[in-house]
Amino acid sequence: MEPTAPNEFPQNQYVNTPQTPPAQMPTADKPKADVKAVLLNLGIIVALCSVYSSFLSFVFDLINKVFPDALDSSSYYSYSLSWQDSAIRWAMAVLLVGVPVYLVLCWLANKHVESLAANYAETGRGKTGGRKVLGSIIIFLAAATVISDLIALVYYFFGGEITTRFVLKSGLTLISAGGIFWYYLYDIRRDPGLPALGPKVGAITVVATAIVSIILGFVVIGSPLQARYQKLDQARISHLQNITQSVGNYWNKKYAIPSKLDELEYFSGKMPVDPVTKQTYGYRVIDARHFSVCALFETDNIEKEKSAAQSPYYYGYTTMGITDWSHAKGQKCFEGYLDPSAYPDPIISIPILPASLPVPKR
C-alpha cells in the first residue's frame, strides 16, 4: 500500500462525486397512425367494390336481356324480365352516385399523399400515406376476380354452355378487372411527389364508362316516365285478372255470369278502377259462358310477352281461359271463358217418390 502524504486522507470511493449526464442520443418520433389516410383508403375500397360489382351486375343483366338463352328459364318468365329491369335500374343508380363518390375520395387521397410527399422532402417521414397498402389490396381483389372468371370460363366450357352472352360476360369481366389491376399496379410504383397523367386518364375512363352504361340502360329499359307507364299497365293487368277471378266466384254462387261489374261487389268487395282515370274497367257479356274485360293501356308489352312465351319453361298466368295478357298501346279487351270442367252447370235434383205398394187381390 502506497504511503500517503502528511495531512492527506485516503480517497473514499463511496463519496458522491458530481457526474456529467450522458449525451442524449437523437431519437426519431414514434410513427403515428394516419387516421385520415386509413379512412380515405377504406372509403375508396368500399366505393370501388360497390361501383365495380354494380357495373358487372348491370352488364350481365343487360346481356341477358339482349341475348336470351334458351337453357335459362329465368330469361323468359315475365316477372323475371321485370326483375331484370329493376336490377338494371338499381345498378344505374349505384353508378350514378357511386362513381362521383369514388372519384372525390381518390382526389382527396391523392391530395393527402402529395402533402405527405412534401413533408417527406423536409423531414424524411410520412411519404406513402397507405397508398401502397391500398393499391396492394385492390390488386389482390382484381387478380382474384380474373382468376375466378377464368375458372368459371373453363367450367362452363366443359359443360358445353358457351354462348354469345357468356363470352361477352367473361370478356368484359377480364377487361374491367385487368384495367383495375394495371392502374393500381402503376399507381403504387409512381412517385406521388411528381405530376402524373395516369390518374386523370383513369378518372376520364371511369366517367366515360359510367355515362355510356347509363345511356345504354335508358335505351334498353326506357326512361323513368316509360317505367312509370309500364308499372301502371301492370297494375291494370292485375286488376283485370282479379275481375275475371271474381266472375268465377260469382258463377260458383249463382251459376251465371253477372250482367255488370256492380253485381260482383256483393261477393268480392269493391271492384278495382283504373289507377289514373279512376274509371271502371270495360266489361261485356258475350254469351252464357263467355265475357270480356277491357282497359286502356299506355305501353306495348307484346314483344316482352312474346319473348317469354318462346321458352319451353314458360307458364303464363291463366285465369278464366285467358293465357295471353299481351297488349299494344291503347284499348285492349280480353275474352274470358268459364270452362264447364272447372265451373259446371248446376245439378238439378229431382225428387224420387216412393213406389206405391201393390194392392193385394181378394
Query: Is 328 in the same domain as 244?
Result: yes
Query: Is 218 in the same domain as 243?
Result: no
Could you tell me if residue 16 is inside a domain?
no
Could you tell me if residue 361 is inside a domain?
no
284-305 pLDDT, tens digit per residue, is: 999 988 999 999 999 988 777 6
What is the pLDDT at residue 122?
46
Q: How far apart are CA 168 and CA 131, in angstroms?
A: 33
Could you tell me if residue 45 is inside a domain?
yes
Buried b (16+ CB within 10 A) or exposed e, 40-64: bbebbbebbebbbebbbebbbbbbb
The residue written with cell numbers 362452363 in the block is: 156
Q: How far apart are CA 265 and CA 251, in angstroms?
A: 13
Could you tell me if residue 1 is inside a domain?
no
Beta bridge partners of 285: 291
Final residue in a domain of this structure, among 186, 206, 222:
222
Query: Is 167 in the same domain as 204?
Result: yes
Q: How far apart are CA 283 and CA 334, in angstroms?
A: 10
Could you tell me if residue 206 is inside a domain?
yes
Q: Could you report how far apart the first and last alpha carbons of the chain are, in Å? A: 178
* Band of residue 311 on the pLDDT scale cut at 50, 70, 90: very low
pTM score of the predicted model: 0.67
Final residue in a domain of this structure, among 168, 199, 222:
222
Could you tell me if residue 14 is inside a domain?
no
Instruction: Give Rg (Cα) of the chain.
Output: 39
Query: Is 117 in the same domain as 135?
Result: yes
Count of the separate structural domains present in the chain? 2
What is the pLDDT at residue 27?
47
Could you tell me if residue 3 is inside a domain?
no
Domain range holding 250? 225-337
239, 295 contact by CB (below 8 A): yes
Query: Is 43 in the same domain as 105?
Result: yes
Query: Is 283 in the same domain as 246?
Result: yes
Query: Is 48 in the same domain as 110?
Result: yes
Dump the DSSP string for 158-194.
HTT---HHHHHHHHHHHHHHHHHHHHHHHHHHS-TTS
Query: Is 285 in the same domain as 166?
Result: no
257, 289 contact by CB (below 8 A): yes
Q: Which residue has the higher pLDDT, 93 or 319?
A: 93
120-167 pLDDT, tens digit per residue, is: 544 444 455 566 777 788 888 888 877 887 787 778 778 776 678 788
Query: Is 279 in the same domain as 234?
Result: yes
Q: How far apart are CA 56 and CA 63, in angstroms?
A: 10
Per DSSP, the three-state class of 311 is: coil
Query: Is 200 in the same domain as 260?
Result: no
Could you tell me if residue 8 is inside a domain?
no
Query: Is 114 in the same domain as 127?
Result: yes
Query: Is 66 in the same domain as 206?
Result: yes
